Chain A
Amino acid sequence: MARRVMSEKYNDSCLRIFALIKMFVESDAPFAEVIKLFADENGNLTQKCNVTLNKYMNTLDLCGIKVKKRKNKYYLQKMPYSIHLNEHELYAVSLMKSAMSFLPKGKVKTSLVTFIQDLELRYDRNTKNLNKVVASTRNFNLSFYFMQFEKQITQCENYCQEKNKLDLSYVGEEAKVVNIVCVPEEIIYTDDIVCLRVYESLTRQNIDIPIDKITNINVLEAKDNSAEKVCTSVIFTLKGNLAKSYKLRDWETLESKNSDGSITVCNRGEDFQALSIRLFKYQDNCVVEAPKYLKNNIKKLINNTLKNYS
């Protein structure tokens, strides 16, 4: 039956079948809710409602939209809209599933599980068939890298979410135990090392601590309440060809281009130790200008290395 509203005509059946699909898409729909769609104008449920619902369910089935009923609930098994993925894209999905095990339990992980389910629900027939082949031939496993730290990673991820300040001890340079009060930021994955990045407000720096070097963590009651963290800036000068070819990182800014061809760079937020190692590699083409204590650290690093040859 077509109705006229203003100048626009539309179909009741069309509206109703899409309302039915929407119910199935949004969640697993209980029969008691679904049948209400077919109530008469006064909201009464009659025997006719069941007949009409069956007709609509048959319609969906003939259109390839698969819905299963279990324990008085309807479960959508195939969407009205399908997506085609090729072998490479399915591989990326399997990679996503494997890497998911490194996400902490919580909203983010749960939402990703839902996302993958939503995606798989939309696979067209070819994608579904291909997926069986990909799943059996390209078994992707990331556990090789980080599984040994899985518990620690999960724990640290939780700290990062909760944002409580931590009283943390770790084994630092020259095997000395370092104790700091810090705010957990995020988990950093570099090569086969997993680090907990923390912000230490005392020295105003981000520190990347390898997870296996952490010896003790006490969660403090105080929450991180700083609206904005200000990291100490590191200023360094680059010379020669390096000055010409250097590509600024996202967390770096160009302070000045100097008359001798050198450039001065300001770095904020990079772990000091990682930064020192990186700048050390640039040899005499790089000089740290500030802060003074980092400059002194680099000097010490050079002198200690030279001692090996005296």
Chain B
Amino acid sequence: MKEFNKTNTVTYNLMSFTGFKSLLLFSLLAKGPQTNAQIQAAFKNHEYLKEDIAGDTLRVYINSLRRVGCVIERKKGKYVMLSHPFELSISQEQIRAIIKIYRIILNTLDVSDIFEYEKFVRKLISHTNNSDLKEALDRVSVFKNVDTALVQDLIKYCAKKRKITILYNSPRSSEKDIQVIANKLGISQGKIYLYGVSLEYNQDSSYLLSRILKVLSVDIKNDNMPDLKPVTVGYELSKTAQNTKLTDEDRIVEITDNGILVETTTTNLFMTKRKLLEFGPLCTVLYPDDFREDFISTLKRMQKEYSDG
């Protein structure tokens, strides 16, 4: 090696030329399929070799690589290395760990982070051809059967709060165009939703991602933004519910004897009603009156459903 450093000339005393050539061939095939001519050129132009390689000799090298565990086939005049012993391998325990992490981040991080993680794991699958990892990921994936290009676009539009028109396969009215100001992608009950402001109803809305067929148009100017008229809803949460996580729209306005008085600002009373129902008896809606009455009517209808049985 000292000799090489001094003269920058490679000699037979210094290294195993045959070993070197087989590694060169291996690295060429690892980059992708190679024709005979491409391999010849690589040997001819290599700074240490500068020599031709005969067809018979090349076959001996290929046979040797096969013998050490490389799977090499000849396809359409090219040598193709399908697998080799130095590929990244993933054990069953490693699969469990990778999936466990997916589950941890699924309910804690933004959709964009989960998306990055899933894309990375899918790349690992393609590098390793590991069908067990693929099956395990498919079982937990929230992006299964979802157009990933669409997800990527929506993440971009949400970041810029773009006004977009989507083609939505609505369960009520089948396919329809919907104009929405994209706000964020979120996961609820293992499904991805696009949250935003519907321009048809001028209120916060959510759309199941798997029902969004495509984005028809994007308004990059964000002109004619809607004039939203948010409603303030007041409710009391009992002391035993106080560990509950409040959202950005909620603010505590008073600490009462029974618990806390919270106000939430909303443009979609339907979604607010669902949210407050989750608290069950721990929540009492205080105002506005019409929302309170609607809330009580809903509970009475629910009561009737059970009394009929």
Contact = CB atoms under 8 A, between A and B. Distances in A.
Interface of A: 2, 8-19, 21-22, 25, 52, 54-56, 58-63, 65, 79-81, 83, 85, 88-89, 91-93, 95-96, 99-100, 102-103, 107-109, 111-112, 114-115, 118-119, 122, 142, 145-146, 174-175, 188-192, 241, 244-245, 247, 249-250, 277-278, 280-281, 283-284, 287, 289, 295, 298-299, 301-309
Contacts of A79: 86
A301 B292 CA distance: 18
Contacts of A52: 16
B201 interface: no
B207 to A, nearest CB: 11
Most chain B CB inside 10 Å of its own CB: which residue of A112, A174, A175: A112
Contacts of A289: 309
A42 B121 CA distance: 48
A15 B64 contact: yes
B125 to A, nearest CB: 13
**Secondary structure at chain A's binding surface: helix, strand, loop or mixed?**
helix
Given A17-B23, A115-B90, A174-B240, A59 B16 contact: yes
15 contacts: A9-B59, A13-B22, A52-B16, A59-B19, A89-B120, A95-B117, A115-B94, A115-B98, A277-B280, A283-B302, A284-B298, A287-B305, A304-B281, A308-B284, A309-B292
Contacts of B19: 13-14, 16-17, 56, 59
Given A63-B24, A302-B303, A13 B16 contact: yes
Interface in B29-86: 30, 48, 59-61, 63-65, 67-69, 84-86
B298 A283 contact: yes
A159 to B, nearest CB: 15
Interface string B112-151: 0100110111010001000000000001000000000000
Interface residues of B, number: 86
Interface of B: 1, 4, 10, 13-16, 18-20, 22-24, 26-27, 30, 48, 59-61, 63-65, 67-69, 84-91, 93-94, 96-98, 100-101, 103-109, 113, 116-117, 119-121, 123, 127, 139, 171-172, 189-191, 208, 210, 240, 245, 273-274, 277-278, 280-281, 283-284, 292, 296, 298-306, 309
